[in-house]
């Protein structure tokens, strides 16, 4: 007899809400790939809840042929969270390899589903329970753990990219809810598995708490995703074939024009912030355009001192060096000789002879 009690009704309401949110997200035009992947995640979460909705309501007793229906694919949760993060942060899909494990789990259930109930019962007792259940449970935990780590790494990279360009952190905060969902599910599922292994076997009804948590987390992530589905989300993107020498030359010119080279404490990180880039790109560009950050900065400062000498400045050479941003006489002499092949005093003496 089919009867919706409190447990089945609560899970059914949550599952329906997830399906409605999934449909709404899938229909969004903005951030299309990211929103569709989030919709797929909600669909998978609803699918994981459906067997328990049906079981608690008595469907499996009334319709035993529903056994092994391929509703629940928990191996898809981790890849979909990661795919959602990458889609919003980098505007690209994942490689097909990430679909392999979820597809294998779905194919396994789909292949088993058409068999008679007696055959499915025999398979469950003789094959699945003793040989498949434990490795599958371990694979789900490993999948969630691995994708939780790579999702957090991708999120940190995106947060850093946004911060370096002084962009709003809102898109990263939106992604953080999905990454947090995966971490919480991992902890909850691991807790249930440990309880099952170390305290007592978990039965069908003990899992109600986990699926209630699953539905609540899915609802939170889904509502948050739907609220911000159309919000701008700049993606990490660099030209495929960037002209690093030209980029380095441009940044060196901006360094000269901005007068930033006069700052005695100027370092690579400070210059990267002034230019609106990151240190790795700046270092790569300056190495491609010349001799690297330290050598190029020293050369610009040496050129400034030489220009002052050429203009007839009578100030002490050390004073000119300090005004150009050099921190010591030794570093000034070394940089000047590297740039002009003579010491600063010899350069001044030669200019004086030429002007007489």
CATH of the domain at 253: 1.10.10.60
SS (H, E, C) 199-211: CCCCCCCCCHHHH
Same domain, residue pair 206 and 265: no
Tokens representing residue 316 in the block: 């002490």
Give residue 280's pLDDT.
79
The verdict on residue 237 lying in a domain is no
pLDDT greater than 90 at residue 144: yes
Average pLDDT of the residues of the chain: 89
Is residue 163 a part of any domain in this protein? Answer: yes
End residue of a domain, out of 177, 200, 227: 227
- Binned at pLDDT 50, 70 and 90, residue 346 comes out as confident
Element (H, E) at 257: helix 244-258
Q: Tell me what pLDDT residue 137 has.
A: 94
- Cβ-in-10-Å burial (0-12, 13-18, 19+) of 344 comes to buried
Please tell me the distance from the alpha carbon of residue 309 to that of residue 312, in angstroms, as a whole number: 5
pLDDT at 241 over 60: no
Residues 280 and 198 reside in one and the same domain = no
Whole-Å CA distances, 95 to 87, 100, 102, 167 = 12, 10, 14, 28
| Residues 85, 175 contacting (CB under 8 angstroms) | yes
| 109 and 16 part of one domain | yes
pLDDT at 354: 66
Inform me whether the pLDDT recorded for 219 exceeds 60: yes
**Residue 85 Cα distances to 45, 93, 325, angstroms:** 17, 10, 44
- At residue 333, does pLDDT exceed 90? no
User: Which band of pLDDT confidence, cut at 50, 70 and 90, is reported for residue 356?
Assistant: low
Is residue 43 included in any domain, yes or no? Answer: yes
The predicted model gives 114-134 an average pLDDT of 95
124 domain residue, yes or no = yes
Residue 248 in contact with residue 289, Cβ under 8 Å? yes
Q: Are residues 349 and 285 in the same domain?
A: yes
Which range, of 130-144, 190-204, 340-354, averages the lowest pLDDT?
Answer: 340-354
Whether residues 174 and 253 share a domain: the answer is no
How do residues 267-310 score in pLDDT, each as one tens digit?
A: 888 888 888 888 878 888 888 877 788 888 888 888 887 888 77
Angle between helices 279-289 and 268-275 (to 10 degrees): 100
- Residue labelled with tokens 């609802």: 219
Report if residue 333 sits inside a domain. Answer: yes
Residue 260's pLDDT band (cuts 50, 70, 90): confident
What value does the mean pLDDT take over residues 145-172?
Answer: 91
Label residue 336 by pLDDT band (50, 70, 90): confident
| Dihedral (CA of 239, 240, 244, 249) sign | negative
Contact call for residues 326 and 333 (beta carbons, < 8 A): no
Structure-model confidence comparison of residues 129 and 287, the more confident one: 129
Average pLDDT over residues 29-34: 90
Instruction: Report pLDDT digits (tens) over 72-123.
Output: 999 999 999 999 999 999 888 999 999 999 999 999 999 999 999 999 999 9
> Is residue 127 a part of any domain in this protein?
yes
Note the pLDDT of residue 53.
96
Domain hosting 327: range is 246-355
pLDDT in tens, 34-85: 999 999 999 999 999 999 999 999 999 999 999 999 999 999 999 999 999 9
Number of structural domains in the chain: 2
Q: Quick one: three-class SS letters along 74-115?
A: HHHHHHHHHHHHHHHHHCCCCCHHHHHHHHHHHHHHHHHCCC
Using alpha carbons, list the distances in angstroms from residue 124 to 118, 247, 353: 10, 63, 100
- What is the torsional sign of CA 284, 288, 293, 297? negative
Domain membership of residue 234 (yes or no) is no
Asked whether residue 87 falls in the same domain as residue 148, the answer is yes
DSSP 125: I
Do 255 and 172 fall into the same domain? no
Within-domain flag for 29:
yes
Q: Which residues of 231-243 are buried (b: 16+ CB within 10 A; e: fewer)?
A: eebebbeeeeeee
pTM: 0.69
Cα–Cα distance for residue pair 42/73, rounded to 1 Å: 12
Give the end of a domain, one of 227, 257, 282: 227
Do 69 and 144 lie in a common domain?
Answer: yes
Residues 210 and 260 reside in one and the same domain: no
pLDDT at residue 48, as a whole number: 97
Mean pLDDT of 152-158: 94
Q: Are residues 157 and 33 in the same domain?
A: yes
Task: Give the pLDDT mean for 233-254.
Answer: 78
Q: What proportion of the chain, given as a percentage, has pLDDT over 70?
A: 97
DSSP 8-state assignment for residue 341: S
In sequence order, what DSSP letters do the residues of 261-317 get, joined into one string?
GG-TT--HHHHHHHHTS-HHHHHHHHHHHSS-HHHHHHHHHHHHHHHHHHTT--S-H
Distance CA 356, CA 347 (A): 15
Does residue 256 share a domain with residue 197? no
Ramachandran area for residue 4 (φ above 0: left; ψ -120 to 50: alpha; else beta): beta
Assigned token pair, 166: 């002084």
Regarding whether 253 and 201 lie in a shared domain, the answer is no
């Amino acid at each position: 007899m089919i009867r919706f009690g409190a447990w089945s009704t609560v899970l059914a309401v949550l599952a329906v809400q997830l399906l409605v949110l999934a449909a709404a997200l899938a229909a969004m035009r903005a951030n299309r790939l990211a929103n569709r992947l989030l919709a797929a995640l909600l669909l998978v979460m609803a699918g994981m809840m459906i067997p328990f909705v049906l079981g608690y309501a008595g469907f499996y007793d009334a319709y035993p042929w529903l056994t092994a229906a391929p509703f629940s694919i928990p191996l898809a949760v981790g890849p979909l969270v990661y795919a959602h993060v990458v889609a919003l942060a980098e505007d690209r899909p994942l490689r097909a390899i990430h679909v392999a494990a979820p597809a294998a789990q779905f194919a396994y259930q789909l292949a088993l589903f058409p068999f008679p109930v007696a055959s499915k019962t025999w398979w469950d007792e003789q094959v699945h329970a003793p040989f498949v259940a434990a490795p599958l449970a371990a694979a789900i935990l490993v999948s969630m753990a691995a994708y939780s780590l790579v999702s957090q790494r991708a999120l940190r990279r995106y947060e850093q990219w946004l911060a370096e360009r002084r962009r709003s952190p809102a898109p990263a905060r939106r992604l953080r809810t999905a990454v947090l969902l995966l971490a919480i599910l991992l902890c909850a599922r691991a807790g249930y598995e440990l309880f099952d292994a170390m305290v007592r076997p978990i039965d069908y009804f003990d899992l109600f708490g986990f699926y209630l948590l699953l539905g609540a987390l899915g609802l939170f992530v889904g509502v948050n995703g739907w609220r911000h589905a159309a919000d701008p989300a700049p993606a990490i993107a660099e030209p495929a074939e960037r002209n690093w020498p030209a980029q380095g030359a441009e940044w060196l010119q901006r360094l000269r024009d901005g007068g930033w080279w006069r700052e005695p404490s100027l370092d690579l990180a400070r210059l990267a912030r002034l230019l609106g880039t990151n240190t790795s790109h700046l270092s790569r560009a300056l190495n491609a355009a010349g001799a690297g950050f330290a050598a190029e900065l020293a050369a610009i400062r040496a050129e400034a001192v030489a220009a002052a000498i050429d203009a007839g400045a009578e100030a002490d050479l050390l004073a000119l060096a300090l005004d150009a941003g050099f921190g010591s006489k030794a570093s000034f002499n070394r940089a000047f000789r590297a740039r002009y092949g003579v010491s600063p005093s010899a350069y001044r003496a030669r200019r004086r002879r030429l002007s007489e």
